[in-house]
Amino acid sequence: MIRVLPQSLGRMKLFHNQYGASGPPLVILHGLLGAHGNWHTLSQSAFQQVARVYAVDQRNHGRSPHADQIDYPTLAADLRTFIDRHALAPAHLLGHSMGGKAAMQTALSFPDRVDRLVVVDMAPRAYPPAHTALLDALARIDPRAYDSRDAIDAALADDVPSWPIRQFLLKNLDYDGDTYTWRMNLDAIRAHYDALTAALPMGATFEGPALFVRGGQSDYIADEDLDGIRERFPAADLVTLEDAGHWVHADAPEALADLVTAFVADPTRVP
């Protein structure tokens, strides 16, 4: 059972997996409805060769605690606490999608905790609420009413016909030997979804090295987003992996691994 913590505590202990024992710290943040395991393969095969990798579950996701609030200032405060608790500052940050915005907000709010920043397929702008129907579909499924993962998959298929998307979503299932439940805090995510699609505020900058990687088949970072990126991250470079969609780490893992490991080793080595 996941413990619900009062928001006022501000000391959330995030779950994480560590890979590697040497090199600079690299903290990885997953996207919406994801978890640290989304980055297991790259963390184990490539990233730990150049860094001590900490793949983190953000609040209301994976094995981390639940709380009523979720927005980027709160996610950044959680990450600052994580970095301080593990004495990682300054750490390299890598974030995908929602995790990319959380990483950006952390670099803007706590630049002394961040060495280098990698953002995968996310800009600091506002996005349309593209996942509202998906969140509503998940809310219509009560996993406790089903006796198998396949049955939940079949029920979800009415609203989510894509098999790969369903398999991703079903990674959020918990099973205690008797009952299925959703691992994520779906109520909080739905209640604060507008905050997760909002733009990051202007006014602060992160002057350190920043690498933005976009999928060439994705529309999450458009050419016109580059001005907004560089207003906040003046040293940012943008690299496009042409054959990848939004899930860059799944579509082009080797190319992304090459970019990230080179950047962690030497931030001037950006194509």
Give one word for 22, left, alpha or beta, with left for phi > 0 and alpha for psi -120 to 50.
Answer: beta
| Annotated catalytic residue, options 43, 64, 97, 218 | 97
Closest CA to 125 of 239, 251, 219: 219
| Annotated catalytic residue, options 36, 96, 131, 246 | 246
| Annotated catalytic residue, options 187, 194, 243, 266 | 187
Cis peptide before 90 (omega within 30 of 0): yes
Distance linking the first and last C-alpha atoms of the chain: 46
Sign of CA dihedral 249, 128, 61, 107: positive
- Could you confirm whether 142 is annotated as catalytic? no
Which runs of consecutive H residues, i.e. helices, occur in 157-235? 163-170, 186-191, 193-197, 226-232
- Could you confirm whether 187 is annotated as catalytic? yes
Please state, in angstroms and rounded to a whole number, the distance separating the CA atoms of residues 86 and 23. 15
- Could you confirm whether 64 is annotated as catalytic? no
- For residue 122 the two structure tokens come to 């996310």
Instruction: Tell me the catalytic residues.
Output: 97, 187, 246
